[in-house]
Amino acid sequence: MAQVPAQTIPRDPQLFYWILFPITVVMVLTGILRHYATVLMASSPKKLDKKTTREQRSLAHGVSVRANHYVLSRSSFTARRDALMTAYESGAFLKDQDGRGQPPPNPMNDPAAMEGMMGMMKNQMAMIIPNTLIMGWINAFFSGYVIMKLPFPLTIKFKSMLQAGVATKDMDPRWMSSISWYFLCIFGLQPVFNFLLGSDNAANQMAAQMQMAPPAGQMFGPGVDPNKQFLAEAENLAVIEHHSVLDGVEQRLLEGIKA
């Protein structure tokens, strides 16, 4: 059985001090810088005025009545439903009573909505700019080297990821180039930032991108007509078939204790 002799590439030990270490330090420092930049740029959450609060919470109230209707007795549920439906349909909770039935304003013209979008833009910029700069820096100075060998074997598929910038066909995928080290740093520094900055830091762009995915606050986002939401909720309330959790609770209790 002829074993393929392990590839050995003589490397200058100085590679560690002049490439691996600087890239890591730069990545950590950028993360910290990004965290503080985000903290500084973050606009404080906008205060809602009384009417907006009323509009949103009244809708939320209707939703919770609908979801938890089973804790009420039939008569109290019917009373609530009638009151809420009348108020919803007449638009009593709306922020601007006059704007009923009119198409929603263009979100681009709404200064409040613009502010929210600016905030998102700022966060995006804080992520994109440093990444572009650092990647350019690494490509310009350190491309084309093999800087380290991973201590575990890997399959051939990893070659394109780990040896980016080193176009050698037969090299073992365990050898890593500097640009792959950079990617590893992007994905793997989260625990370091957690340790340095606390767990709710803004240093890691991966976490930020995760947050981006679900459109939070879409319920009251710009461009949604609250009147339509109220009407839809009134309809939802109207079709509930009421049952109460109190129906037959004694029997359940007696049986449950005996069993």
Partner 1 sequence: MAPSFLYHPVQLSPAAALELAQTAPAVLKSSPSSVSSSPLFSLVGGPEKSEQWIQFENLILACLRTGDDQAARKCLERLVSRFGADNERVQALDGLVKEAMANNNGELEAVLKEYERILSENDTNIPIAKRRIALLRSMGRASDAASALVELLDFSPTDAEAWSELSDIYLSQGLYPQAIYAMEEVLVLAPNAWNIHARLGELQYMAATASGSAANGSHQKHMAEAVKRFSRSIELCDDYLRGYYGLKLVTKTLLSGEDAKTPKQTDEGGFALPDRSTLEKLHELATAKLAEIVRRAAAKERGWRGYAEADVAAARELLAQDTSAVQR
Return residues touching partner 1 (CB under 8 A): 32, 36, 47-51, 53-54, 57-58, 60-61, 64-65, 67-76, 78, 80, 196-199, 245-246, 249-254, 256-257
Q: Of 18 and 51, which CB lies nearer to partner 1 in the complex structure?
A: 51
Say if residues 147 and 164 touch (Cβ distance below 8 Å): no
Cα separation, 210 vs 122, whole angstroms:
16
Closest CB 78 distance from partner 1, rounded Å? 7
Closest CB 239 distance from partner 1, rounded Å? 18
Closest CB 159 distance from partner 1, rounded Å? 38
Closest CB 251 distance from partner 1, rounded Å? 7
Tokens of 244: 């109460």
Closest CB 7 distance from partner 1, rounded Å? 42
The sign of the dihedral angle between the CA atoms of 83, 89, 91, 93 is positive
Q: Of 228 and 242, which CB lies nearer to partner 1 in the complex structure?
A: 242
Contacts within 8 Å (CB) and 24+ apart, 14-23: 15/145, 15/147, 15/148, 16/147, 16/148, 19/142, 19/145, 19/147, 19/178, 19/181, 20/147, 20/148, 20/178, 20/181, 23/138, 23/142, 23/178, 23/181, 23/182, 23/185
Q: Of 84 and 147, which CB lies nearer to partner 1 in the complex structure?
A: 84
Q: Of 18 and 36, which CB lies nearer to partner 1 in the complex structure?
A: 36
Q: Of 51 and 100, which CB lies nearer to partner 1 in the complex structure?
A: 51
